[in-house]
Amino acid sequence: MYGEQDIASIADPFRKEVRDYLSILPSKYPGCSKPKLVAYLCSTDASAEQYAKFTQKACEKDGIQFDLRVIPRTDLEDQLILSNLDSTVHGVLVYYPIFKGMMDGYLQDVVSMEKDVEGMNTRCRYNLYHNIRYIDDDKTMKCVLPCTAIAIVKIIDGLGQYDDKKQIGAQLSGKVVTIINRSEIVGRPLAAMLCNDGAFVYSFDENGCIIFQKGKVKGTIKMVESETTLQQAIQDSHIVVTGVPSPVFKVKSEYIKDGTVVINFAGYKNVDDDVAKRTRYVSSIGRVTIAMLERNLLRLFDNHLRSSSPSPSP
């Protein structure tokens, strides 16, 4: 059905899984504390503050301990190290950007992989780009994936774009996707994940178009420079994902085919106002992103418990 899509129905089952998982902890692990997420906010950015409030409200409602710490950015590295060493902390979240550029990349690696709820540590990213789904040889402890990118994947799946009759790795085969964002936090990992699931992906940023395809070596992604224009890519696409805080990349609705799934994940609206009339339009993904954040935290918490004894999977 065309129009604005209800993503609450996509987010709610994941949050119920979180509540169900936490409800069995007292009987499975007497005396075990509930998972604790520590979030660091180092700016006065209004959108980051709002997201932090939404996250805290959701976590507290679902039974997760949420500790928001507002600190100067120059103190962040020390605080991240202390959180890594704190056995009562099970997940760490940082509201980026902090310094921007390479320094932020360094800070992402300061966060221990065992507590990286955002999946931005170098080893997490390596696993993502090589389609490695577990962090142990026995394949009992699952990797976490970047919250916003995996939220978009779940929305695409929830809107019926995956073909469950096909084998894993091919469930998006035949689908063409255009992503207007190639950031390391959202656009690039999203392109890799959709490519790993069989999609043909056009990725755009200010430097042009790159096509993401499965590589010849198993588990790798091949990127190919392309002269394809944004208009051409969109007209060819079944799914369009956009999230750029700039009018330069605003998509004209006339470029988009009827029935296309269109997802706008940035605060800035990158599509014409009438786009929902002919498409399945998602204007905000925050609910699902928070659900994926909770899911990642439980995965880290579950991995921690598995290191000493078996436990139910989230």
Look at phi and psi of residue 141 and say left if phi exceeds 0, alpha if psi is from -120 to 50, else beta. beta
* Residue 25, both tokens: 């902890």
Q: Which DSSP category does 247 fall into? A: G
Q: Which amino acid is at 220?
A: T
Which tokens hold the place of 243? 């999230």
Beta strands at 208-214 and 200-205: parallel, antiparallel or unpaired = antiparallel
β-bridge mates for residue 177, sequence order? 201, 239
d(C-alpha 290, C-alpha 88), whole Å: 21
- Catalytic annotation, residues: 147
**Which residue reads 């699931």 in tokens?**
197
Q: Are strands 221-226 and 208-214 parallel, antiparallel or unpaired?
A: antiparallel
Reading the block at residue 258, the tokens are 């009827």
The token pair that represents 138 in the structure block: 């026995």
First to last CA, the chain: 32
How many Å apart are CA 159 and CA 290, to the nearest integer? 18
What residue type is assigned to position 251 of the chain? V
- Please check whether residue 7 is in contact with residue 285, taking contact to mean a CB–CB distance below 8 angstroms: yes
Q: Which two tokens stand for residue 62?
A: 């679902």
Give the other-Cβ count within 10 Å of 63's Cβ: 15
